[in-house]
A and B are shown apart, each in its own frame.
Chain A
Amino acid sequence: MTETSFPTPVAPSDALLDVRHLKKYFPIRGGVLSRVVTNVKAVDDVSFSIRRGEVVGLVGESGSGKTTVGRTILRLGEPTSGVIDFDGADISKLSKPAMRRYRKRMQIVFQDPYASLNPREKIRTVLGHALAVHNIGTSADREDRIVAMLEQVGLSGDYLDRFPHEFSGGQRQRIGIARALAVEPDFIVADEPVSALDVSIQAQVVNLLEDLKDKFSLTMLFIAHDLAVVEHISDRVIVMYLGRIMEIAPTRTLYRNPNHPYTKALLSAVPNPDITARKDRIILKGDIPSPINPPSGCVFRTRCPIAIADCAKVVPVPVEVSPAHFSACIRTAPQPAYGQLAAQDMP
């Protein structure tokens, strides 16, 4: 099998997070003995890094594995294999107690804060738990911290004794953010944090995340399917499809000069609110294949407008097509070893 590591444009010492060859397979069991029949390869050999203070966007459609990447690097699910290097230490195999030290430093903001807030707990309790679990502050000064945190996210301290259902969607997301930040993490995974919000509220929360990122020098992995939001907030962007990374590039490069045919199709599919700029659209045929049985070679080839027979044979290697811009496509990013491979395969 071909080595498909995305070389990192980040010097190791700058990287807060360095993910190498991460795999996360979910077994599917069947038969009377419930043996593992097959695996869903949700994340299949993914490598990337995030430097301190950087916001990296992770985009992809359903089944791309983007959410699984976010959860696995926080060890909310056990990786099948691979290295998750956080601040110089591999956390991929740490035991639960050993992991606790890192939990405080790595937090997550979910898409639906309502599902992640206990409906029977007042906001005081919700945020108090977060502090108590990590032994932050004495019980006496915790309340002050909670009020300060609520104010940081634009909510009033008067809300302490309210229940989650008494808040609007945007306010609940602010509470979710307050909870994640209460323990003063270095690193945040924001998993579709604004997808469930109305447009006018979405902008408020995006601005809030940007402010807090600056204020607390946060490093962030921003997972979303909304390409415009990702462009707005990210320094670099990773594009995933069916468990694999297709392209990584600095944000402006990716949006202005995408290399991978999937990225091009994805960007062109976004409805444009500018009526004066109608553009040619690449409409991909068919559906996203099942990750249980992904296509051989390049996983995108079954929907790719420029696929050739060779695309079924090799898993493309990421190639640096411009500074810090990597693409994994044998058609658009000439493969170093590809000439040899193709020659061998020829009759």
Chain B
Amino acid sequence: MSDAFASSPTARTNEPPLLEVEDLQTSFIVGEGQDVRAVDGVSFVVKGGETLAIVGESGSGKSVTSLSIMRLLPKKIGRISRGTIRLRGKDLVGLPEGEMRAIRGNDIGMIFQEPMTSLNPVHTIGTQIAEVVMQHSKLGKKQAHQRAIEMLELVGIPEPVRRASQYPHEMSGGMRQRAMIAMALSCEPSVLIADEPTTALDVTIQAQILDLMRNLQAKMGMAIVFITHDLGVVAEMADRVVVMYAGQVVETGTVAEIFTKPLMPYTSGLMQSIPRMGEYEEKTRLQTIPGYVPLLTKLPGGCRFRTRCAFAEDRCAAAEPPLEVLDSGRSVRCVRWRELDLKTKATA
């Protein structure tokens, strides 16, 4: 399996890339010894300080990819069945749980869509952040609590001293998300994985959180892996984009490449199916991608998108297309990409 960003600048130097996922395959047991590959041969590189967006619909494998990196897959049913995940050259896949625990928080922080699932309801926000700080540093209780208050202030929570003594349920959704960001960044990780961090928030609160993430990145320099289904958020946040479909990477590129000239019909289909604000003189029909995302247990042979693709031909069914890496460094999984001139917007 080829490295999707083989010709990227970091790859040319001797220093290993910050985070390198290569040929990752994550399998789940779905009953009676049957396995499905929720993530099937995914490769990408995250460079220091950049924002990489992983975009896809439900069942694309984008969240399972992030849980695999964190080694937080549900025990017994989920496992990494192939591939490597290297942090500055060090493979995390076979790492003992104890060592992995030190990496979580210290080197890689993670925030989720619903902060309540990762915040403990019976401890105050301050205590929870202090605990993370103590686990990963030599700071004592008092200093760790002070650090927690500094972090709450950093993420723009007003009255941080008072807020530190509050419980998660006493906070609004936006405040909780800020508190979770404070916790995830308290040990200054070099990578922050953000899995749909604003999906559950109102749009004015989402704007606050996205702004906060950008400011914190400028201040602290961490790389962000931003997992989302929202192309608007991708356009605002990402430097580079990985598009996933049915467990595979189907296209990668810079945000400008992906949004101005998508090469994979799925990417173009997604862009055409989103309604855009203030663009139309008259009512236009939305373009659609026909059909439904296939179940992982019932994938069509050949290209996984072909049953919904307007450009599918016989050869699309013949074999699974490889992820082709272009000279520019971007990549695409489509046997027809050279012949196609894909649109990004629906036209009247």
Contacts and interface: CB of A to CB of B under 8 A. Distances in A.
Interface of A: 61-62, 168-171, 198-204, 206-207, 210, 225, 227-229, 231-232, 255-256, 265-276, 281, 283-285, 287-288, 303
B71 to A, nearest CB: 27
A200 B273 contact: yes
Nearest to B57: A198
A281 B292 CA distance: 35
Given A231-B277, A287-B172, A303-B204, 17 more contacts: A62-B202, A200-B269, A203-B289, A206-B286, A207-B288, A227-B277, A228-B275, A255-B278, A265-B204, A267-B277, A275-B255, A275-B259, A284-B208, A285-B208, A287-B174, A288-B172, A288-B202
Contact of B277 (A168, A255, A285): A255
Given A266-B204, A281-B207, A283-B208, A206 B275 contact: yes
Contacts of B116: none
B103 interface: no
Contacts of B289: 200, 203
A203 B285 CA distance: 9
Interface in B247-289: 255-256, 259-260, 269-271, 273-278, 280, 283, 285-289
A228 B274 contact: yes
B276 A274 contact: yes
B43 to A, nearest CB: 24
Contacts of B232: 270-273
Nearest to A303: B204
B236 interface: yes
Nearest to B200: A62
B31 to A, nearest CB: 15
Contacts of A229: 275
For this complex, into which size category does the number of interface residues on chain B fall? Answer: 35 or more
B230 interface: yes
A170 B59 CA distance: 14
B278 A231 contact: yes
B208 A199 contact: no
B117 to A, nearest CB: 18
A270 B234 CA distance: 12
Given A61-B202, A62-B202, A171-B292, A273 B231 contact: yes
Given A202-B273, A225-B203, A266-B204, A272 B57 contact: no
A323 to B, nearest CB: 19
A284 B205 CA distance: 8
13 contacts: A62-B202, A207-B286, A225-B202, A228-B275, A269-B204, A270-B203, A270-B232, A271-B210, A271-B233, A281-B207, A283-B204, A284-B204, A287-B205
Contacts of B276: 228, 273-274
B211 interface: yes
Contact of A274 (B208, B233, B235): B235
A170 B288 CA distance: 13
Contacts of A285: 208
Contacts of A171: 292
Chain B interface main SS type: helix
Given A170-B292, A227-B277, A255-B278, A273 B235 contact: yes
Contacts of B269: 200
Given A232-B283, A272-B236, A287-B205, A199 B229 contact: yes
Nearest to A235: B283
A266 B285 contact: no
Contacts of B57: 198-200
A168 B207 contact: no
Contacts of A287: 172, 174-175, 205
A255 B293 CA distance: 33
B217 interface: no
A203 B204 contact: no
A286 to B, nearest CB: 8
Contacts of A198: 57-58, 229, 293
Nearest to B289: A200
B288 A204 contact: yes
Contacts of A227: 203, 277
B206 interface: yes
A227 B233 CA distance: 14
Contacts of B172: 287-288
Contacts of A267: 277
Contacts of A232: 275, 280, 283, 286
Nearest to A265: B204
Contacts of B285: 207, 210
